[in-house]
Amino acid sequence: MQFTITILIMLASLINNNRTNDEDPFIWLEDVHGDKAIEWVELENRKTFDVLKENPHYDEFYSKSLEILNSRDRIATPSLTGDYIYNFWQDADHVRGIWRRTQKESYLSGNPQWEIILDIDKLSEQDETNWVFGGATGLYPDYGRFMVALSRGGGDAVIRREFDMSTGSFIESGFYMPEAKGSASWLNENALLIATDFGEESMTTSGYPRQVRLWERGTPLSDAPVVFEGKTSDVSSSGFVINRPERQYVLFRRGITFYTSEYYAYENNTAIRLDIPADAYLVSIFNNQLVLDLKSDWHIGNRLYRQGSIVSLPYNALVEGRHDPTLVVEPGDRSSIRSVSASKSRLIINMLTNVSSELYTYEFENGSWKGTRVNAPAYGSINVGSVSSFTNDYFFWYQDFLTPSSLYFSNAEDSTIEPLQSLPPFFDSGSLKVTQHEAKSADGTMIPYFVVGPEDMEYNGQNPTLLYAYGGFEISMLPSYSPVMGRLWLEKGGIYVLANIRGGGEFGPGWHQAGLKENRQRVYDDFHAVAEDLIASNITSGKHLGIQGGSNGGLLVGVAFTQRPELYNAVICQVPLLDMKRYNKLLAGASWMGEYGDPDIPEEWAFIKEYSPYHNLTENRDYPVVFFTTSTRDDRVHPGHARKMVAMMKKLGYQVYYYENTEGGHAGASTNEQRAMGSALNFTYLWLKLDS
């Protein structure tokens, strides 16, 4: 018996060592469009479809999902630009979508008269390309020209073309930027600040531009002079323009790591470095005040400004090298700043208190800031939408787990609120309730989580339960209304759990930083703790508990099932990072070393390898049957992560499901049909695994 165990350990060690030393038997699956790799993808897709699409649930789930996604009851998301409200819309008649606009008064009337600007379906047919709309940047102040971004199949790399609103067409001889990751900002009618791919020497190791150039109309793109550049080892460089009532501000950002930057003001054709903390985030410029979100304590002069605070500094003095900061707001221990927006005369600050949103406006007067709470709905999630820099108009959204999303129009100066539209109920929530709980993590930290389920839920350990979390990049997980999840999961008796684990931003920068690099295991311990608490409270059991996560959340659930397989019986692992030895060599992976660490540094690989899912797979474990999904067109997180994990698990004798969409980018889907199919596959899989 002892001999057998020793042999198994040696075999597992050999497998792990092979992958650690980059002697990877499945590295060929990193060839995204290679014939052999695509043949493998198509075979794995068919195997999954043969099981999940043939399940009795699938057709019902697909039709219900598509009905919701194509519903005309959805709210048309407004974007305030000049005198118009712009919107991008997809439905059954516009599969790839239409970009359209209406007068602000028309939109506020509740019966907007839309003018279609660009039909992406027609453009795709005309160009024989599956275009995905990537947004548009308008030329201030009259917005008669736009730079329109289009991606092939939904990737991050886009082409940019100049569009003339007066003719309703692209300008044949206008500005055109070939497909690349980067940015473009209008300096004036005849000049753009651009960051794009001019060849390998112009790019960072993360795959983003390190140069900013000034491109003038009528000159070749290749001749655009460099006005700012960072280093090859940086994450990226960009130039951006902030137009405010008082003046235009031109700035450069050198992204050194994902969390540290240098900002430069461009004055009199000279880039002037601004002396602010490297990890501070430049929110905006308001009333000649540069507004910062502090990610660490800042000692300046004889004053301490605490981590998580919002402060402002006079722009002109800062350019001259002088500091005169003023505190805007300092959140408490259980609070954090979710967003800061600038209207004409107010800052609009969205604050979280114990994972519940509160909305405030702040006025700068006589050298100090005064805040007023907005009488917005409470005990849910608020998202500030489009904000006008030249009026005090803005939109915000409210929702919670059981309350459909509602859109409000407000004025930041007088704090008036006008409810505009609410989604109809897409599922029956009358018998459901929401409760908030806490679980104790391995180091004693209390981790909050929400449970959504029936009011009369039986605590018998048999409830099909789906646990979701993210745990990274200071992204907060908040209550939200999900029509598809409500219809396909909650209505049918499923329990939904949202965990606010460390790595997110629910309680400020410190909550995020507690899970960085060598402390990453805390994030996974938090997740395990919530799962254990759900089981201990008899809400569910390992047999009936499923987990889901995407991107960094895909890494989270990958770690979860490789570390604690007994806790989970279903795992949906979407567009994931999984090979943490090579993640920094794949697409944008190098940009995330500020989050995870550098696996090429032995001291950092020592802690990364302890959780890297690809390197911790072993034989003879009772892993759940995992469902991996990714996209061929994902140019952010390489599809090779999911591909190789599946191949290795199958080599070790485990059953898995796999679906790779051929387009969709990092979002995984480009059309409502693709989104509906993804939802149908996911919930078919969950009921198959957890309802038995």
Catalytic residues: 551, 666
List the strands of the sheet with 545-550, edge to edge. Answer: 432-440, 446-454, 495-499, 465-468, 545-550, 570-574, 626-631, 656-661
Distance of CA 527 to the CA centre of its chain: 20
Backbone angles phi, psi at 523, to 5 degrees: -60, -45
With CA atoms as reference, report the closest residue to 241 among 195, 181, 206, 307.
195
**Residue recorded with tokens 């379906």:** 121
Residue 470 in tokens: 């993210």
Backbone angles phi, psi at 671, to 5 degrees: -125, 165
Backbone angles phi, psi at 39, to 5 degrees: -60, -40
Q: Give how far Cα 359 sits from Cα of 283, 379, 388, 422, Å.
A: 17, 12, 17, 19
Instruction: Write the DSSP symbol of residue 259.
Output: S
Instruction: Write the DSSP symbol of residue 567.
Output: G
Give the long-range contacts of residues 221-227, CB within 8 A, separation 24 or more.
221/176, 221/177, 221/194, 222/198, 224/194, 227/193, 227/252, 227/266, 227/269, 227/271
Residue 678 amino acid letter = G
Residue 137 in tokens: 């940047």
CA dihedral of 608, 611, 613, 615, whole degrees rounded to 10: 60
Strand partners of residue 142: none
Taking only Cα atoms into account, the Rg of the chain, rounded to an integer number of angstroms, comes to 25
With CA atoms as reference, report the closest residue to 401 among 381, 421, 419.
381
3 state SS of 263 = strand
Give the long-range contacts of residues 123-128, CB within 8 A, separation 24 or more.
123/150, 124/96
User: In angstroms, rounded to a whole number, what is the distance separating the alpha carbons of residues 230 and 486?
Assistant: 47
User: In angstroms, rounded to a whole number, what is the distance separating the alpha carbons of residues 173 and 217?
Assistant: 10
User: In angstroms, rounded to a whole number, what is the distance separating the alpha carbons of residues 79 and 691?
Assistant: 43
Residue 645 in tokens: 């994990």
